[in-house]
A and B are shown apart, each in its own frame.
Chain A
Amino acid sequence: MSILRDEIAAVARARSEAYLAEMAAPIAVNVAGCGSYSALLRGVHEEATGLGAVLGWASQSGRVILAGRGASGKTTLLHRLVLLAVEGGQAPFFIDLSQWDHAASDSWIEISDSPRDAMDFLLRRFGPSKHDLADAEFLPSSVGRVFLLDGLNETPGSTADSILAACDRIASLLVNCSVIVTDRLVRRQLDNEGKWRFSMPLPVEKPEQDRLLKGLQIPLGAEPLLSIPFFLDRAMRGELRASPLETIRELVEDRGGVNDDGLRVIGRVAFNAYEIDRSRSFDMARFAELGGGAAAGMLMASGLLVRLADDRVAFLHHWVHDYLAAKYVAETPELWSFEHRHRVLDILTFKANSFDAIAFALELAPLDDRDSFLRAVYDWNPYAAGYALAEARGVGIEDVPRHVRLIILAMLAEKRFDRHFHSARRASDALDLFSDDDSISLRNAATHDALIEFVAGILPDSERFAVWQECFTMRKGDPAPKKFLEALDDADSVVGWTAANVLKRLSLSGAQKKEIVRLAMQDRAVIRWRACHVMGGFIDGLFNDALLDRLKHDADESVRYGAIRSLVEAASLDEGRVPQAADQIIESLGCIETSPKVLGELSRAVFLSAGYAPANWAGEISRVFYALLERTEDVVEVERWSKVASRLRIHHRHDESLAA
């Protein structure tokens, strides 16, 4: 065994033992493998097994994602894996991504293209010691190197994808190397899903709960929480309350000893930390800026605020931070007004990467505001609305009106039939998180017609639902009523987007088409976006010209994003038009390239769901990516576009073979 390995192991062991010593008592948590990413997200798993199996999976496949809901014990399991790896003679490298911040995001842009630089950066910046990637390479080939990355969901969404890409490459490159990454139940964009092993922590079993609690009094209604390690740990300390939110609320308000005014300031500080530092760790100056010095002192004294290096601080648990930031947002409705919601919800979720704070905000919003908060979330990100409903443990089915849930879930269910493969899959993933009867019925609708049939059969319990239902259940090819076009302009996001989705499948008169083109030039960006969305459902020269015009000239990025999606979608409706559409997109690349969001969407939108691709699709659309390849002299970009073209052909070849 090498001296270097022993040094690395000693540092890792010390760090993990220190972390585990903070637990009230060790809690036995089993894990289970899952057959695929989809199975993991649905919670479908193989037989329960001990933690040691994870190291075996890592050795076999090189890449393991250990994903679960918040507080399910992932970090603790990862620290235990460190100790197991040390015992097994391996060299573990623990990387704590919870310390990710704004500066890390800036640095990441510079180095993420090189897997070596990327992993080296992660080790130096978030590892427990000065050991770097060169140390990992200097180890004898017989020594297993295990990189354990905790908290992928603490990084911005696109960063999370590129961290996984770097892990994938490092696992391939280095001899005797594996990576284990903890994450939330969110599907990441993996280069090759088949290379990864998926696993999940299982709930704490009842005998283990009983053994640890030894007859301790548990608050009424809190028993279901005992299967979750974070709450079982709280219960052993006598700090468990009837709900997750109550437990955290009491932790902050009672143990922290902060009054309402102080809480308001701390909430703002927590939000500002997400906005300015883009991190769970932040500059202590945030408190002073808002006159919260005294509150900070109390939090520090109670142990809820932890001092880190360089005068930075972090809350005891990321849920405390999420709770405080969510409370601030929930109590400030103007933050989720139309003008602010996109920016604010991006901040609160690290750009749609971590939805706990959204779920907390939903729980913390006054009952009367929950509907409008959910609609705001839906407008920002329809999948997030689904996640928020599923994840808000304190929000029962009865706490949100059934019609509100149904509307959101039905709109997600309709997206399962989207022509764009990635949109359809995200919708399925979001819907898979629910297990109530309505969700199961919506999920089980095998065709779009069956879905419409199910929704049409629901007895409306409110005028609002009846109006929405009438719109949603219009049949393909029905003439579009005038009021639906008017609804595109509705301030209510659910009404506006339902109209946009439904109009795509209806029949439009010439005058109505002109009206939609007019709406695509309207002052409000969201209306232009919805109009572009509608146009994707039609083979129409007028629409095609309008979409190209918006793609090239609209000042708003979301409208351009909607325009490229619709251009791709409309092209997929007619095999004869595919070559011309590819040429038009190629001619527009100069405009498309100015926005990473629009360019990224182009490379996703071209992947169509099974059965939707014309025979010439992959061949013709590949030309777009070869044109992008020819426009760059950057090696990484060349490989990126070559890969997209190739992936597109493989994706649709698989589609063709399935059809055959």
Chain B
Amino acid sequence: MARLAGRVGSALVAVITIVDEEYDAVRAIGGFGDFASDTPYLFRTKTDGNHFDVILAKSADRSNTPCTELVADLSERFRPEFIILSGIAGGIGDRDGVALGDVIVADHVEGYEMRKLSEGRDVTRRMAIDHPSVFLRETIAHRVRHSDDWKTRIAVERPVEGTPKVVIGNLIAGEKILGDGENAYQRQILQEFDKAVAVDMESHGLARGVYSARGIRHYNLNYLVVRGVSDLVNDEGNNAMRKRWRDYAAATAAAFSMSVVDQIIACCP
């Protein structure tokens, strides 16, 4: 089947990362080579014309809006069929057994920053977004999850004994890092989104970007969010914890994400 092409060419999958650790972790195991044409994105394999199997991109900055813009740019240049966000997140420790180093695969993404404060009430407002792809989660990620092969690709030593597990659940995203269990605002957010298992700063931007990109007749972009747990936002010593686990969490996310990528390539030649 002919793939829809962007300005530069077409890509089956685009992997998005945000911070250096996440980018380096994917790059370390992804087999990426040169930049795709004159773009700042790396690719692994190029076939006839400018068709790329997978490209690797890094957001210009933390937070949601740059991630939305990155999706727009990737869509314009490559029209990828799938986007995987690979990175780290704060886990919510008392939910679904989430532990440090685990991998979160989001089944639902929500933004928590948009609020309406009126007449003593604090109400969440929502903007239209796409949610993570059911196909990617229930077909591709499901297959990866049920094999332990992805764990062999974790290229960083685990800080303590143990094995990462994959947790599927809700992910919430805002503009600020949550990491203080005593903070009233954080407690309020975690109470309101009582099914959330992790918190990050970019997934909502990704979801918004995909929603926007998919708003045309010819393009049906799917995405998946894969987050390694670098800290538990409601535990003490959050910053120190994140420093210790960050590289490993990025590596677990990268290992799972690239296994998903390889599975996609195998399934959708």
Contact = CB atoms under 8 A, between A and B. Distances in A.
Nearest to A618: B61
Contact of A642 (B73, B175, B219): B175
A174 B216 contact: yes
A137 B75 contact: no
A141 interface: yes
A653 B213 CA distance: 28
Interface residues of A, number: 29
B218 interface: yes
A220 interface: no
Most buried by A among B65, B116, B218: B65
Given A173-B213, A639-B65, A633 B114 contact: yes
Given A138-B217, A175-B79, A175-B219, A633 B65 contact: no
A113 to B, nearest CB: 12
B59 to A, nearest CB: 9
A62 B72 CA distance: 13
Given A172-B73, A633-B114, A642-B175, A650 B65 contact: no
B4 A638 contact: no
B156 interface: no
Nearest to B68: A639
Interface residues of B, number: 31
A62 B77 CA distance: 10
A630 B113 contact: yes
A639 B127 CA distance: 11
Contacts of A175: 4, 79, 216, 218-219
A646 to B, nearest CB: 5
Interface string B195-221: 000000000000000001101111100
B7 interface: yes
Contacts of B72: 169, 172-173
Chain A at the B interface: SS class: helix
Nearest to A195: B73
A636 to B, nearest CB: 10
Contact of B66 (A61, A116, A137, A646): A646
Interface string A609-635: 000000000000000001001100101
Interface string A204-246: 0000000000000000000000000000000000000000000
A643 B65 contact: yes
Contact of B76 (A172, A633, A638): A172
Contacts of A653: 61
Chain B at the A interface: SS class: loop
Interface string B103-126: 000000000011110000000010
B60 interface: yes
Contacts of A635: 114, 127
Contacts of A639: 65, 68
A505 B63 CA distance: 38
B128 to A, nearest CB: 8
B64 interface: yes
Given A175-B219, A626-B176, A62 B7 contact: yes
Contacts of A116: 215
Contacts of A149: none
A646 B60 contact: yes
A69 interface: no
Contacts of B76: 62, 171-173
Contacts of B127: 635, 638
Contacts of B216: 137, 173-175
Contacts of B116: 633
Nearest to B118: A633
A169 B127 CA distance: 18
Nearest to A653: B61
Contacts of B213: 173
A584 interface: no
A649 interface: yes
A638 B114 CA distance: 8
B73 to A, nearest CB: 7
Contacts of B73: 172
Interface in A157-207: 169, 171-175, 192
A236 B160 CA distance: 85
Given A141-B218, A171-B76, A175-B79, A633 B125 contact: yes
| Smallest CB-CB A-B distances: 10 pairs | A642-B65, A172-B76, A635-B127, A141-B218, A646-B61, A643-B65, A633-B116, A633-B125, A172-B72, A175-B218
14 contacts: A172-B73, A173-B215, A173-B216, A174-B216, A192-B69, A638-B113, A638-B127, A642-B63, A646-B60, A646-B61, A646-B66, A650-B60, A650-B66, A653-B61
Given A137-B217, A175-B218, A638-B113, 8 more contacts: A62-B7, A172-B75, A629-B113, A633-B114, A638-B127, A643-B65, A646-B63, A650-B61
Interface of A: 59-62, 116, 137-138, 141, 169, 171-175, 192, 626, 629-630, 633, 635, 638-639, 642-643, 645-646, 649-650, 653
